[in-house]
Amino acid sequence: MLVQPFFLLTSLNISFYILELLIKIMEEKIKSFEAWLLVSMLILAGFLTILLSTVSQPQGYTLIYAPPRAYNASDWMDIKAVYIKETQDKLYFYIEYYAPMPNSSEYIHNLFLYMDTDRNPQTGSLAYDIGRDFYINIGITGNNDSSWANLYKWDPTAKGWKKLRDLKPDMKLAPSLSYWEVPINKEDIAYSPTGMDFYISAHSSVLTIPATKITYTIGSNNRQITVDGNPGDWGTATPTLSLKPRGINPPELEISAIYLANDAENLYVRVDTRGKPTQSIPTGTLTRELYIYIDTDNSNSTGYKTYSGADYYAYATLNTQILKYPNIYYYKYTGTGTDSKWQQVSSTPQNADFNTVFELKIPLSLLGLKPQQKITIYIPEQRWFLHRLVPKTVTSITYPTQQTATTPATQPSIIARLFGSETLFLALVTTIIILEAAAITYLARKQPRHQPQPPPQPP
């Protein structure tokens, strides 16, 4: 349920009012009729504000799927519910998240909604047992300086996707970016009364580290390191690079420091974050990737010039599902300096791991490095993200469901038609009651306390 802070605050204020009034009743400062009338009004107002503080679903929509929670460390990254509303010529998709996005371009929602509108796996692009005929791609940054919504159609001749329509002009966003609503024309997707199957592939990402360059001399920090994700064997090592705090939500997706060391066989890289890395999530994938480009001759005139003349790079995947599954791949540059041509030379899962920190190692023999050799390490801008499929399993969601096929979307009530929404009506009623209660309270406080008459004097 979506919590409305204003109404919760009002409920707390009303509770304090009731407590104060009960005290005044006991002190006989307020007449009985006025007191109980006031208390009953305030209790009614409190009940209404509690109703207002939760909104079960958007007006006119049908809840199609409420996915299980995937990632508890950050509410803004996780999808809460999927709704659909149908009119004569349109379908409306309403995707709700557990919380608003942080107000920064460092955060991005990127969502793909794939539809099999003829419900035939033999047509369209086959994935997860459905033939995807159309898809919607929706994206937005946390400060809303960039957003997009496009409809694509599968082209069986070209065997690829073709942009069909820009949906952004019709897209509606919550002011806090906690949900979005996108309508599509039924005609555009060849929608029929038999319905469709669909699934959602959602990515919520954050900038975990800006582009960074580090220089290191082989042999300048000799240590015996066991790659297990525990920093104890680094001792009191000083970070090779410390990064300025950026207040990323969640903290575990913000890199705070990078350590470099080596022994006679390996170059070691330790990456610290501002929160302990999550080891397991019940559904979806928490994707954490590191690209580490190494300029072994310390010259930008050789190697891949775009990344500081890199001659090699290590690609580490430090991902988590129900279990963690770290891995690392090594690549050698084979291009001419400006083209991106790389050849994989090795892959060793046991060379990467994480627990309280992330650790990986790169064989010096693979890089052709010797003691006292100076190298440049370039880490491009990296984004870590939560990826999940909705529904959880590799099956699709069907619309209309058996329930929605027989029960049309909720029609607005008379109150909603008169006042714009039932929420607005209840808010007006609550405001009137609170103002009335405040007036009675004011009058009661103005009333002088009853003074008992002195007993008659004896004759």
pLDDT digits (tens, 9 = 90+) for 423-458: 555 666 667 667 666 666 665 665 555 554 555 555
**Of 1-15, 109-123, 419-433, the least confident:** 1-15
Q: Is the bond into 102 cis (omega within 30 degrees of 0)?
A: no
CATH 3.40.50 describes domain 62-207+389-406: no
Q: Are 410 and 57 in contact (CB under 8 A)?
A: no
Q: What average pLDDT does the structure give for the chain?
A: 84
Residue 21 has pLDDT above 80, yes or no: no
Q: Are 233 and 226 in contact (CB under 8 A)?
A: yes
Q: Are 231 and 240 in contact (CB under 8 A)?
A: no
In this prediction, residues 79-85 reach a mean pLDDT of 94
d(CA 214, CA 410): 59
Residue 98 has pLDDT above 50, yes or no: yes
Q: Where are the domains of the chain?
A: 2-57+412-446, 62-207+389-406, 211-380
Residue 409 has pLDDT above 50, yes or no: no
pLDDT of residue 193: 87
**Of 28-32, 184-188, 345-349, the least confident:** 28-32
pLDDT in tens, 130-189: 999 999 999 999 999 999 999 999 999 999 999 999 999 999 988 888 999 999 999 999
Q: Are 277 and 252 in contact (CB under 8 A)?
A: yes
Report residue 52's pLDDT band, with 50, 70 and 90 as the boundaries.
Answer: very low
pLDDT in tens, 300-309: 889 999 999 9
3-state secondary structure labels for all residues of 135-166? EEEEEEECCCCCEEEEEEEEECCCCEEEEEEE
Tell me the CA distances in angstroms from 167 to 150, 251, 332, one per residue in order: 5, 34, 42
Name the percent of the chain lying above pLDDT 90: 66
Residue 45 has pLDDT above 80, yes or no: no
Residue 350 has pLDDT above 60, yes or no: yes
pLDDT of residue 406: 32
d(CA 54, CA 60): 16
Q: Are 249 and 271 in contact (CB under 8 A)?
A: no
Backbone angles phi, psi at 308, to 5 degrees: 60, 35
Report residue 407's pLDDT band, with 50, 70 and 90 as the boundaries.
Answer: very low
DSSP string spanning 248-310? -SSGGGSEEEEEEEE-SSEEEEEEEESSPPP---SSSEEE-EEEEEEETT--TTSSBGGGTTB
pLDDT of residue 58: 83
Report residue 19's pLDDT band, with 50, 70 and 90 as the boundaries.
Answer: low
